[in-house]
Amino acid sequence: MEIILDDRQDKISVSEELIDKIKDIILECLDYEGYDYSYEVSLSFVDNKEIQELNREFRGIDRATDVLSFPLLTDEFDIELEEESLGDIVISLERALEQSLEYDHSFEREVCFLVCHSMFHLLGYDHDTDENTKEMREKEEYILNKLNITRE
């Protein structure tokens, strides 16, 4: 398992402890879904300005968001995924901090949730219907609870 980390923002520092938790989440998501660890994931930390630009470019929505997922594991791409990238995760650390305050839990918990959420997008899940949203939320909560990453 390789995580390609790109911290493209200078507003919020990221601790080694948080990076370790992120790695644990990625591995746990892969394990939960029955994947081995031969894949890579690209993870970029950005600010609100950059994620707004990406959101506008790729989704046509001109506002900052918390996380964007760019999965390669889709029917659109007929690729062999042996030792290949699952895709890219882009997180606005500014937005994650804002949401952690809004939801009254730690910044680390918010970033971990966003990574977990995005991993399930990379693995083919979506929240386009109530049923799919419920399934995705159950998977996210299972992973976070298993790793003892709580809302405290």
CB-based contact 123:87 (threshold 8 Å): no
Question: ∠ CA(59), CA(134), CA(146), 5° rounding?
Answer: 105
* CA 133, chain centre distance (Å): 16
Burial degree of 34 (CB within 10 A; 0-12, 13-18, 19+): exposed
Closest by CA to 120, choosing from 40, 29, 16, 1, is 29
Question: ∠ CA(102), CA(132), CA(117), 5° rounding?
Answer: 45
**Does the annotation list 105 as a binding residue?**
no
**Does the annotation list 127 as a binding residue?**
yes
Binding residues for Zn(2+): 117, 121, 127
The binding site comprises 117, 121, 127
